[in-house]
Homo-oligomer: A and B are copies of this chain.
Amino acid sequence: MIVWRWKSINRIDLEDCPIAIAQKIIGGKWALRILYHLSTGMLRFGELNRQMPEITQATLTKELRRLESFQLINRKVYPEVPPRVEYSLNEMGLKLLPVLKELEIWGYEYKKIH
């Protein structure tokens, strides 16, 4: 664990805690799931939705937009009819792969025990 620097006595600057930032970005109900599904490669909106039937279209759209605004995924729109939109991890998103991998291992372990 890396101890971050202190900006003032007895007060941790939130911006200095890497976990706080990570939690803010990937802490939502769906963020990790979405990134996980995208980890195998590009997916269209509908494909993503089919792999996560419990999420609603509206929520999925919002979450994808959020992840895009945080620069974790790419959104490519094809000007066709019917429309096609493809989502994929970009550089910052790809850097999350080690996290997803470890989390996946942990998840399996947890299930095995409980």
Contacts and interface: CB of A to CB of B under 8 A. Distances in A.
A2 B104 contact: yes
A interface SS class: helix
Contact of A106 (B32, B33, B54, B99): B99
A2 B102 CA distance: 12
Contacts of A110: 18, 21-22, 25, 92
Copies of this chain present: 2
A108 B93 CA distance: 14
A34 B30 CA distance: 21
A19 to B, nearest CB: 4
A51 interface: yes
A27 B25 contact: no
A79 interface: no
A54 B104 contact: no
A107 B21 contact: yes
Q: Which of A10, A28, A107 has the most CB of B within 10 A?
A: A107
A27 B109 CA distance: 17
Contacts of A17: 33, 36, 107
Interface in A56-114: 71, 92, 95-96, 98-111, 113-114
